[in-house]
A and B are shown apart, each in its own frame.
Chain A
Amino acid sequence: MKSLRSNIYTGFAIIVALLIGVGLIGYLGSKQLSDSSAAMRKVSSTDAAIAKINRDVTELQLRVARYMATGHRSLQSDIIALNDHLIDQINQQVEAQVAPEMQDLFLRMSVRLPAYRSHFNSVIEERRLRADLVQQQLPNQSQVVHERLNKLQQSLPVKALRQANEAAILLCKSRFLEAERLLLRYYIAASVPLVTDASKQIELAIESLTPLKSEGEAEPIRQQLIRELKKYKRLGIRAVQATRSYLYLVNVVMAGEASEVTYFSTRLRSVSESQRNQIADKIAVTTTNIRRATGIGICIAVALGVLIASRLGTLILRPVTALKETFRQLAAGRTVLTIPESERKDEIGEMALAAEVFRQRNVEQRALLEKAESLAIELASKATELESSNAELDSFAYVASHDLKSPLRGIRQLAAWIQEDAGHLLPEESMQHFQAMQSRVQRMETLLEDLLNFSRIGRQDTQPEQVDLNELVNDVIELTDNPNQVAIGVPEPLPVLQTIRVSLEQVFMNLIGNAVKHNDKHENGRIDILFEQQDESYVFHFRDNGPGIEPQHYERVFQMYQRVGNTDVDGSGMGLAIVKKQIESHRGSIHLDSNNGDGVTFTVVWPESLV
């Protein structure tokens, strides 16, 4: 099984890859759209150029038609300029086009207009020539012919023949006039028969001069006239040729070139339209594809996202939830038998292992708790037993001390009576034994008294009372046997407190008495009682400059019948045990500090209020 991290990373990687894929599709699509738009702009620009070329070709044809109708010279330069402009436009497009079909069409178109211009130059020339012939040369020649006719008529020498000659001249003249008329008609409305007829009339005019009897100077004039008539015919035919020529050039050759240009522009428009449609289709397809691909990509991404999330949920949430519940139970200290998902090899498996450790500790802890509980129960039982035993012991001590006091008192009384009655009878040695016995009885009484006091502690049901500590301390000092006059320093004022007088009095009495008793400094001995009030207690320090106590005896000094230090000092060894019991029976505490040989300080913490 792969780790959760690798599963999560793989999931994210797939989603990110899909998002990148969708983004890439979007980018490529938008790039394609941008390219298509650029191509569309180019096609539109070509369209505009084609439309302009078409308009210009139409305009060119119109101007040529106007020129044909009017012959205005200004139109010539206009036409040539427009033609050159068209050539430039087409050549620009040849250069600009990249699509072979478009380029080929523009190229084929481009060869047409230079030819058009060349033909138009011929048209100008022929038109000029025709105008010159029709407006200048032919009228002049006509005048020359008429002059020659008149001259010939005048030069005819023989009167007898004049009539016939004049008839011939008139015939010639009339045929020439007819030829002129026919030619003029041709120049107005061109037609082949008019030329044929005019030509024929001139030939007839020449022929009509044949019967002319011209002699002398008339003959050269006649020959001259024939030459002039032929010249007229030649000029007339030349004008006809010029007319035919420019009519042919304009109506056939130039119109043919223009029609090809129009054809190519139509083809170009069609190709351009087809390109535009293709681009539009491409844009539509691209848009649809982008939309579809993006939609599919997003759907896949969402689906995969959901799938991955649910998969990760299955992989993580369910076991984590189960583990959380397990942990919660473990945290609540419940015993869990099995840890879920512990068989997994991933992070959850590791968590499960951690939980297993937790569970095991829980089990151990429970076992410990159970053991502790049983120990506590056992302890309580023991305590109870101990209390019961203590109580029995106290009771026993009390009873024993109390009950033993009476016989002991009897013994002491009996011994006194014996001493009184038979003391003088007894040998010295027995008398010494007898006194020793009395001393022992005395000591036993003290021991019993102390034991009784000790056992009484905590037994009296005494109520607290208002105690003026100043009085109490003074009373205690006064009652204390202080043969060496050890100085006792008491702070003033001491508080007045609500407490058990007897208990506190015994504590003060024992501690001061002990300090006085054990002080080895005699008249230089000193005891200082210090006082301070803490939170809820009163703290008293009893500091002396006595011999001090070695640390190893700190505990022992508080035990019953234990004596430390000078054993010559009178005492039962119960004083401090009583003090400790008194203090602790009121939830106070006592401890001591001693600098070896430099006295000892007992510190007593006495509760402010008694429980």
Chain B
Amino acid sequence: MPTTRRTFLKTVAATAAGSGTTTSAAPFGFVRQKRTLRVLGTHVTLQEPLRQQAQRDLGIDIQFEPGGSAQILHQASTRPKSFDLYEQWSNSIKVLWQAGSIQAIDIKRLDYWNEINDLTLTGKLTPEANIGAGDAPNKLLYVQKNGEIGSNPTGKISFLPYVHNVDSFGYDADVVGKGIPYETESWSWLLDDRWKGRVALVNEPTIGLFDAALAIQASGRASFEDIGDLTTQELDKLFRILVELRKAGHFRGVWNSVPNSVDLMERGEAVIESMFSPAVFALKAKGTNCIYASPKEGYRAWHGVMCMSSATEGANQEAAYEYMNWWLSGWPGAFIAKQGYYISNPQRSRKSLSDAEWDYWYDGQAAKQDLLGTDGQVVVKQGEIRDGGSYTKRFSRIAVWNTVMNNYEYSLPGWNEFLSAG
């Protein structure tokens, strides 16, 4: 719902009342000029309830401009003046930073910086956890003195760490059969002949390519030296295998959006496919026995990034910082937790979650009651346990991070060949 002047005044009045001042007699001119924040991003985080809540909480006119990954990345990297904040995943950081489209964020202005957990800061949630291949968020986090981005802590960061998750593939357990997490569930299932014609991948080389590489490696068809940075030869090999499989009719195809992936499984066109967390819960809510696999080879992890446009300054910059701080203030983290995402300072969100919700979403315990999603629908039935278990358990098994590899451009025609084969 767009913010009207009336709701804005109400918000301001409430804020003022909370601070003990009286605004009723204040001349209109004292009311702070309304600021506008333009947020460019994907549907993962640019959700209307979040926008409404942020507007209510901050009194900022927030404009969401959601779009496809490639489109928004292109827009962000070429037209920094067209946005204030950019929300996507860590694999876009290198591009944006190189393009000079984003500016460094001052950690001193981040209210909850000290609460950011080790996953972002070190790439490992726990000391025992394995660090995944590719660009872990810590490798991209800090702005180095030479202007590049790296892992050495400095006072400036290239992105605000916030939403993150581990992805794998989802499967229809009624068709595929329920596997044992971390034991039998494997990326190799994606290439199992039994699901021939009913396998889908996400149409994004920086993501789907890793799903394919993990599957090929897990099935023993090939092995890769560094799955996060495939060589051209390895890419050739990978695409050769993918093209052969596609020609043999193994793949249903690729999907471009979460609803698209839901649709594929709901229709039964795909029974196993690359998947993002909301799709799993959407399918469960629709009655599909979809399981988010916990592959024994580990997950493909991703880290959301919130970046500030290099062109944002002044009041807009201040609003941008307010919005970034709002994101880490608890409620938004709790909100996205109900969609299966994690936030970089989870403890602050805990107070906005019921114990049952925290125990299910973060602790990997059986749901003590039916749990509602952000749309008010039951997404978790009492007694269910989150696929893959707790936050810690899941993030201790990262196989690879979504990454723009050095041979990214090389991989694109190969990806095209894969898509066009058959």
Q: Which residues of A contact B (CB under 8 A)?
A: 61, 126, 190-193, 195-196, 199-200, 203, 233-234, 237-238, 240-245, 247-253, 255-256, 258-260, 262-263
The answer on a CB contact under 8 Å between B412 and A251 is yes
Q: A192 with B100: in contact, given A61-B420, A263-B253 (CB under 8 Å)?
A: no
Q: Tell me the smallest distance from the CB of A472 to a CB of chain B, in Å.
A: 142
Interface residue from A193, A203, A258 paired with B406 (Cβ < 8 Å): A193
The answer on a CB contact under 8 Å between A258 and B420 is yes
The answer on a CB contact under 8 Å between A191 and B406 is yes
Most interface-central of B94, B147, B419 (chain A CB within 10 A):
B419
Contacts of B256 in A (CB 8 A): 253, 256
Most interface-central of B99, B100, B146, B404 (chain A CB within 10 A):
B99
Docked complex Cα distance between A190 and B411 (Å):
10
The answer on a CB contact under 8 Å between A191 and B419 is no
The answer on a CB contact under 8 Å between B74 and A190 is no
Interface residue from A61, A191, A243, A263 paired with B252 (Cβ < 8 Å): A263
The answer on a CB contact under 8 Å between A241 and B99 is yes
B416 within 8 A of A: yes
Contacts of B412 in A (CB 8 A): 247-248, 250-252
Docked complex Cα distance between A241 and B79 (Å):
11
The answer on a CB contact under 8 Å between A199 and B409 is no
Given contacts A192-B408, A250-B412, A252-B419, 8 further A-B contacts (CB under 8 A): A192-B406, A195-B98, A196-B94, A234-B100, A245-B70, A247-B412, A255-B419, A262-B420
Q: A237 with B416: in contact, given A203-B146, A249-B70 (CB under 8 Å)?
A: no
Q: A192 with B70: in contact, given A199-B98, A256-B256 (CB under 8 Å)?
A: no
The answer on a CB contact under 8 Å between B410 and A191 is yes
Contacts of B74 in A (CB 8 A): 126, 241, 244-245, 248
The answer on a CB contact under 8 Å between B416 and A252 is yes
Q: Tell me the smallest distance from the CB of B235 to a CB of chain A, in Å.
A: 12
B289 within 8 A of A: no
> Could you name 26 residue pairs across A and B whose Cβ atoms are closer than 8 Å?
A190-B410, A192-B94, A192-B409, A193-B406, A199-B98, A203-B146, A237-B99, A238-B78, A238-B99, A240-B98, A240-B99, A243-B409, A248-B74, A248-B412, A251-B205, A251-B415, A251-B416, A252-B70, A252-B205, A252-B419, A253-B68, A253-B70, A255-B420, A256-B203, A262-B420, A262-B422
The number of residue pairs between A and B whose CB atoms lie closer than 8 Å in the complex comes to 95
The answer on a CB contact under 8 Å between A191 and B253 is no
Nearest B residue to A245, CB-CB: B74
The answer on a CB contact under 8 Å between A192 and B405 is yes
Say what secondary structure dominates the interface of chain A: helix
Nearest A residue to B413, CB-CB: A251
Contacts of A250 in B (CB 8 A): 412, 416
> Which residues of chain B (251-300) have a CB below 8 Å from chain A?
252-254, 256
Docked complex Cα distance between A84 and B77 (Å):
31
Contacts of A203 in B (CB 8 A): 146-147
B384 within 8 A of A: no
Docked complex Cα distance between A126 and B73 (Å):
14
> Which residues of chain B (390-418) have a CB below 8 Å from chain A?
404-410, 412-413, 415-416
B370 within 8 A of A: no
Interface residues on B, range: 20 to 34
B311 within 8 A of A: no
Docked complex Cα distance between A256 and B412 (Å):
12
Q: Tell me the smallest distance from the CB of B265 to a CB of chain A, in Å.
A: 15
The answer on a CB contact under 8 Å between A255 and B416 is yes
> Which residues of chain B (59-91) have a CB below 8 Å from chain A?
68, 70, 74, 77-78
Interface residue from A241, A256, A258 paired with B78 (Cβ < 8 Å): A241
Nearest A residue to B405, CB-CB: A192
- Top 8 A-B pairs, shortest CB-CB distance: A190-B409, A251-B416, A251-B412, A255-B419, A256-B203, A259-B419, A255-B416, A192-B406
Interface residue from A61, A191, A241, A251 paired with B95 (Cβ < 8 Å): A241
Nearest B residue to A198, CB-CB: B98
Q: Tell me the smallest distance from the CB of B310 to a CB of chain A, in Å.
A: 11
Contacts of A256 in B (CB 8 A): 203, 254, 256, 419
Contacts of B253 in A (CB 8 A): 259-260, 263
Q: A241 with B254: in contact, given A61-B420, A195-B98 (CB under 8 Å)?
A: no
Docked complex Cα distance between A192 and B100 (Å):
16
Q: Tell me the smallest distance from the CB of B418 to a CB of chain A, in Å.
A: 8
Q: Tell me the smallest distance from the CB of A53 to a CB of chain B, in Å.
A: 16
Interface residue from A196, A241, A259 paired with B420 (Cβ < 8 Å): A259
Contacts of A255 in B (CB 8 A): 415-416, 419-420
Docked complex Cα distance between A529 and B345 (Å):
175
Most interface-central of B94, B409, B415 (chain A CB within 10 A):
B409
Contacts of B404 in A (CB 8 A): 192
Contacts of B106 in A (CB 8 A): none
B204 within 8 A of A: yes
Docked complex Cα distance between A240 and B254 (Å):
26
Contacts of B409 in A (CB 8 A): 190-192, 243-244, 247
Nearest B residue to A242, CB-CB: B78
Nearest B residue to A241, CB-CB: B77
Docked complex Cα distance between A539 and B125 (Å):
166
Docked complex Cα distance between A262 and B253 (Å):
10
The answer on a CB contact under 8 Å between A259 and B100 is no
Nearest A residue to B252, CB-CB: A263
Contacts of B419 in A (CB 8 A): 251-252, 255-256, 258-259
Docked complex Cα distance between A18 and B146 (Å):
101
Nearest A residue to B208, CB-CB: A252
Docked complex Cα distance between A256 and B148 (Å):
34
Nearest B residue to A206, CB-CB: B147
Docked complex Cα distance between A190 and B413 (Å):
11
Q: Tell me the smallest distance from the CB of A175 to a CB of chain B, in Å.
A: 14
Contacts of B77 in A (CB 8 A): 237, 241
Contacts of A248 in B (CB 8 A): 70, 74, 412
Most interface-central of A190, A242, A243, A252 (chain B CB within 10 A):
A252
Most interface-central of A196, A245, A250 (chain B CB within 10 A):
A245
Contacts of A262 in B (CB 8 A): 420, 422
Docked complex Cα distance between A245 and B254 (Å):
19
Contacts of B205 in A (CB 8 A): 251-252
Docked complex Cα distance between A470 and B416 (Å):
153
Contacts of A258 in B (CB 8 A): 419-420
Docked complex Cα distance between A524 and B179 (Å):
166
Interface residue from B98, B203, B413 paired with A196 (Cβ < 8 Å): B98
Nearest B residue to A254, CB-CB: B416
Q: Tell me the smallest distance from the CB of A120 to a CB of chain B, in Å.
A: 14
Contacts of B405 in A (CB 8 A): 192
Nearest A residue to B78, CB-CB: A241
Nearest B residue to A263, CB-CB: B253
Q: Tell me the smallest distance from the CB of A168 to a CB of chain B, in Å.
A: 18
Contacts of B416 in A (CB 8 A): 250-252, 255
Docked complex Cα distance between A203 and B145 (Å):
12
Docked complex Cα distance between A544 and B172 (Å):
148
Docked complex Cα distance between A206 and B95 (Å):
21
Contacts of A195 in B (CB 8 A): 98
> Which residues of chain B (365-382) have a CB below 8 Å from chain A?
none
Q: Tell me the smallest distance from the CB of B373 to a CB of chain A, in Å.
A: 27
Q: Tell me the smallest distance from the CB of A91 to a CB of chain B, in Å.
A: 21
Q: Tell me the smallest distance from the CB of A592 to a CB of chain B, in Å.
A: 132
Docked complex Cα distance between A252 and B405 (Å):
16
Docked complex Cα distance between A195 and B407 (Å):
11
The answer on a CB contact under 8 Å between B98 and A237 is yes
Docked complex Cα distance between A295 and B35 (Å):
88
Q: Tell me the smallest distance from the CB of A166 to a CB of chain B, in Å.
A: 25
Contacts of A190 in B (CB 8 A): 409-410
Nearest B residue to A204, CB-CB: B146
Q: Tell me the smallest distance from the CB of B403 to a CB of chain A, in Å.
A: 10
Docked complex Cα distance between A596 and B341 (Å):
159
Q: A252 with B415: in contact, given A191-B407, A195-B98, A260-B253 (CB under 8 Å)?
A: yes
Contacts of B98 in A (CB 8 A): 195-196, 199, 237, 240
Docked complex Cα distance between A242 and B409 (Å):
12
Docked complex Cα distance between A483 and B314 (Å):
196
Q: Tell me the smallest distance from the CB of A601 to a CB of chain B, in Å.
A: 133
